[in-house]
Structure 1
Amino acid sequence: MADQLATPADLAALLHIAEADLHVPAATLLIECATAVVQEVAGQRIVRATSTVTLEPSPGRWLWLPQLPVVSVESVAMDGTTLTSGDYQVRGHRLWRETGWQLLTAPPTEVDVAYTHGYAVGAQELQRARQAVVALAGAVYANPEGVSREQIGNYAVAYEAISARMEAAPYLRQGLRRYYGRSAGLITLGG
């Protein structure tokens, strides 16, 4: 099942209709699509999930994990060799290793990390994303034909593509990136 940052009940509440009157398959599809839009804008998957990533680290002691927030690290393997938790430390959304992740004179290293990231269902931090998903899905659900303009005299109707209606507005994109995106950090060279 695809990620969902809102529920059909949330959509019914926005549209002021009884949940029993909601076409649940259509609502679920729209919520999943809107969730994909929101997470793409945020630049990451923001719902709680466990992922395994393969990273090619730069020389240094710090290794940044791509999905935030990091909840736990289940395993770390460097070039196929599993490291113990004593070989590295989890610090926020980074891993620190005393001997570094890559030597300047060695061939490139691959680090496989299995970790849990994102916000739990119901977390306060998900409310902005939930609001955005319900707004995007609600706009399409309430107007499935995509009518953008009607005229009665000499009858004329204009339609809008569903992809345009499921596009996040610039102010929404900016807010989601600011709230959920990776913030700029300080980079230490050689350390």
Structure 2
Amino acid sequence: MADQLATPADLAALLHIEVADLHVAAATLLIECATAVVQEVAGQRIVRASSTVTLEPGPGRWLWLPQIPVVSVTSVALDGTALASGDYQVRGHRLWREGGWQLLTSPPSEVAVEYTHGYDAGAQELQRARQAVVALAGAVYSNPTGASREQIDDYAVAYEAIAARMEAAPYLRDGLLRYYGRSAGLITLGG
């Protein structure tokens, strides 16, 4: 099943209808699609998940993990050799290693990291994303034909593409990026 940052019950509440009156399959599909839009804007998967990534580190002791927030690191391997947990430290969303991540004998090095990241379902940090998902899904659910204009005399109807209604507005994009995207930070050179 795809990620869902809201539930059909959330959508029913927004639309002021009973869950029993909701077409659950359609609501679930719209919530999954809206969740994909929100996570794309955020630039990452924000629900709790486990991932294995292979990274090519540069020189230095710090290695940024691509999905945040980092909850735990299960394993780290440098060029195929497993590192003991004492060989590196987890600091926020980064890994630190005394000797750095780039081995001089085999450039470029690869670091494989298995870790858990994101927020638990129901966490307060997910409320902005939940709000965005419900708003996006609700706009499509409440107007499934996509009619944006209707006229009675000389009958005319105008339709919007569903893709356009599932796009995050600029203010929504900015808010989601500010809240869930990576913050700009200082980069330490050589160290």
1:34 counterpart residue number: 34
Measure the CA separation in 1 of the matches of 2:142 and 2:73.
42
Match status 1:82 vs 2:82: yes
Deviation at 1:116? Answer: 0.3
Match status 1:109 vs 2:109: yes
User: What secondary structure sits across from 2:9 in the alignment?
Assistant: helix
Match status 1:156 vs 2:156: yes
1:59–1:104 Cα contact (<8 Å) kept: no
Deviation at 1:105? Answer: 6.5
1:18 counterpart residue number: 18
2:62 counterpart residue number: 62
TM-score, length-scaled by structure 2: 0.98
Structure 1 letter corresponding to 2:50: T
Measure the CA separation in 1 of the matches of 2:15 and 2:21.
11
Structure 2 letter corresponding to 1:126: L
1:138 counterpart residue number: 138
CA distance 1:103–1:81, change in 2 (3 Å): closer
Deviation at 1:141? Answer: 0.3
Indicate the RMSD between aligned Cα atoms, in angstroms. Answer: 0.8
2:179 counterpart residue number: 179
Question: Structure 1, residues 5-32: CA drift from partner, whole Å, max 9, x if none?
Answer: 0000000000001001111110000000
TM-score, length-scaled by structure 1: 0.98
Question: Structure 1, residues 54-75: CA drift from partner, whole Å, max 9, x if none?
Answer: 0000010000000110000000
Measure the CA separation in 2 of the matches of 1:168 and 1:107.
41
Structure 1 letter corresponding to 2:44: Q
Measure the CA separation in 1 of the matches of 2:122 and 2:162.
29
1:120 counterpart residue number: 120
**What stretches of structure 2 of length at least 5 have no aligned partner?**
none
Question: Structure 1, residues 61-97: CA drift from partner, whole Å, max 9, x if none?
Answer: 0000001100000000111111110100000000000
2:96 counterpart residue number: 96
Structure 1 letter corresponding to 2:57: P
User: What secondary structure sits across from 2:100 in the alignment?
Assistant: coil
User: What secondary structure sits across from 1:36 in the alignment?
Assistant: helix
Deviation at 1:177? Answer: 0.3
2:47 counterpart residue number: 47
Deviation at 1:153? Answer: 1.1
**What stretches of structure 1 of length at least 5 have no aligned partner?**
none
Question: Structure 1, residues 111-141: CA drift from partner, whole Å, max 9, x if none?
Answer: 0000000000010000000000000000000
Measure the CA separation in 1 of the matches of 2:147 and 2:82.
57
